[in-house]
């Protein structure tokens, strides 16, 4: 089986490469803007440098997709959040180029990494399955883009079998530096994560669902083998409360109104003190809680790490400054 992975040097991509190293019948072809080094997990992978955000990327993509049994589309930009024209060019227009090239090359199976962020707002008092609407949270550019790509995919349903994994927040220690820099920047030094953070002010209803990158990679391999059509929610238990978040940082939770947290995020964003626009706060507060029954029953998927273990791995990774060796800048 030949599998082509776009965005293969990112958080999920590197976890998937590690997982596929144990699948001897799968030939892996990686797509990234620049080829990575030869360190693990990149060793043994065929690489093609393609910037999917540039017009004309369809032609080299189609060449890379020749004779592929599946394409796993992971390429996505979170930063620079201040340049939505660029992020849209890669996330939405670039995804369209990938889908079109895969269809034109006759690839039988497309796996698009969607997200909890694609879903419309929902209550935190019940779980939703894959039939929940995917209209996104409009104040979040990330959510708007994820929802837009979900709807773009419908144009290709007659030409491709499409699987749409929709994970919660994907964490691993190796992504510690990347995730810190994407969301906290210089406002919260990494060194703080090596010590106790005494107080974490968050709204009571800011509850989150996490999943470890290695468990997402395992789910992706199962999806490649079993080829389910449509959405597949991927989250680990338990739902993580603000109290659990504070505990992972060695401190205690202090409840604050959601409006106050959003105002603080907005002010610090406008002052360029940190890189996270306030739409991320809206997304965290409004995203529904996901039911992952389909992944467990149809794929036989069971996470090795619970959500709190995934969170603890990330905290350790940030404190140590962990990153994937040899990865090119995204």
Q: What is the structure's pLDDT at 328?
A: 53
Q: What is the dihedral of CA 266, 271, 276, 279, to 10 degrees?
A: 20
Phi, psi of 59 (to 5 degrees): -65, -55
User: Is this structure's pTM higher than 0.85?
Assistant: yes
Structure tokens at 61: 């993509």
Burial class (CB in 10 A: 0-12, 13-18, 19+), 99: buried
Q: What is the structure's pLDDT at 195?
A: 84
Other C-beta atoms closer than 10 Å to the C-beta of 150 total: 22
Residue 157 lies in a domain: yes
Given a contact cutoff of 8 angstroms between Cβ atoms, the answer to whether 254 and 200 are in contact is yes
Residue 221 lies in a domain: yes
Residue 203 lies in a domain: no
Residue 114 lies in a domain: yes
Q: Is the peptide bond before 80 cis (omega within 30 degrees of 0)?
A: yes
Residue 89 lies in a domain: yes
Q: What is the structure's pLDDT at 330?
A: 39
From the first residue on, what is the mean pLDDT of each consecutive set of 10 residues in the chain (330 residues)?
96 96 95 89 93 96 97 96 96 98 97 98 95 98 98 96 98 92 89 88 96 98 98 98 93 96 96 95 97 98 97 93 65
- DSSP secondary structure string for all residues of 210-274: EEEHHHHHHHHHHHHHH---EEEEE-PSSPBPHHHHHHHTTSEEEE--HHHHHHHHHHHHHTTSS
Structure tokens at 318: 């940030």
Q: What is the structure's pLDDT at 327?
A: 59
Q: What is the structure's pLDDT at 326?
A: 58
Which one, of 122, 129, 66, 171, lies nearest residue 296 by Cα? 129
Residue 246 lies in a domain: no
CATH (domain of 106):
3.40.50.720
List the beta bridge partners of residue 211: 170
Q: Write the DSSP symbol of residue 208.
A: B
How far, rounded to the nearest angstrom, does the alpha carbon of residue 66 sit from its chain's CA centroid? 26
Q: What is the structure's pLDDT at 191?
A: 87
Residue 243 lies in a domain: no
- Total tally of structural domains belonging to the chain: 1
Rounded Cα distance between 21 and 267, Å, is: 45
Residue 90, CA atoms < 13 Å, CB-side half-sphere: 22
Q: Give me the domain span that covers residue 66.
A: 2-171+209-236+289-303
Residue whose token pair is 């220690």 = 173
Rounded Cα distance between 167 and 232, Å, is: 8
Residue 255 lies in a domain: no
């Amino acid at each position: 089986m030949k599998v082509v992975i776009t965005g293969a040097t990112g958080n999920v991509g590197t976890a998937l490469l590690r997982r596929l190293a144990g699948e001897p019948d799968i030939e892996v072809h990686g797509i990234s803007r620049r080829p990575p080094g030869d360190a693990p997990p990149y060793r043994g992978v065929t690489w093609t440098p393609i910037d999917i955000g540039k017009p004309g990327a369809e032609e080299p993509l189609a060449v890379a997709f020749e004779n592929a049994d599946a394409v796993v589309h992971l390429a996505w930009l979170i930063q620079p959040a201040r340049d939505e024209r660029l992020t849209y060019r890669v996330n939405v227009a670039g995804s369209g180029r990938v889908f079109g090239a895969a269809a034109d090359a006759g690839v039988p199976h497309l796996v698009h990494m969607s997200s909890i962020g694609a879903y419309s707002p929902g209550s935190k008092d019940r779980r939703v399955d894959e039939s929940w609407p995917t209209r996104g949270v409009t104040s979040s550019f990330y959510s708007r883009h994820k929802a837009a790509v979900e709807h773009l995919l419908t144009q290709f349903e007659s030409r491709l079998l499409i699987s749409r994994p929709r994970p919660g927040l994907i964490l691993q220690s190796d992504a510690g530096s990347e995730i810190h820099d994407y969301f906290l920047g210089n406002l919260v030094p990494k060194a703080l994560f090596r010590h106790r953070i005494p107080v974490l002010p968050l709204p009571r209803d800011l509850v989150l669902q996490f999943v470890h990158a290695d468990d997402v990679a395992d789910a992706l391999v199962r999806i490649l083998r079993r080829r389910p059509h449509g959405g597949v929610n991927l989250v680990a238990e338990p739902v993580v409360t603000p109290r659990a978040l504070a505990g992972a940082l060695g401190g205690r939770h202090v409840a604050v109104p959601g409006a106050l947290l959003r105002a603080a995020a907005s002010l610090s964003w406008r002052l360029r003190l940190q890189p996270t626009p306030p739409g991320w706060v809206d997304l965290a507060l409004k995203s529904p809680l996901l039911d992952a029954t389909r992944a467990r029953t149809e794929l036989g998927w069971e996470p090795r790490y619970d959500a709190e273990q995934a969170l603890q791995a990330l905290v350790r990774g940030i404190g140590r400054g962990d990153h994937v060796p040899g990865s090119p800048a995204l």
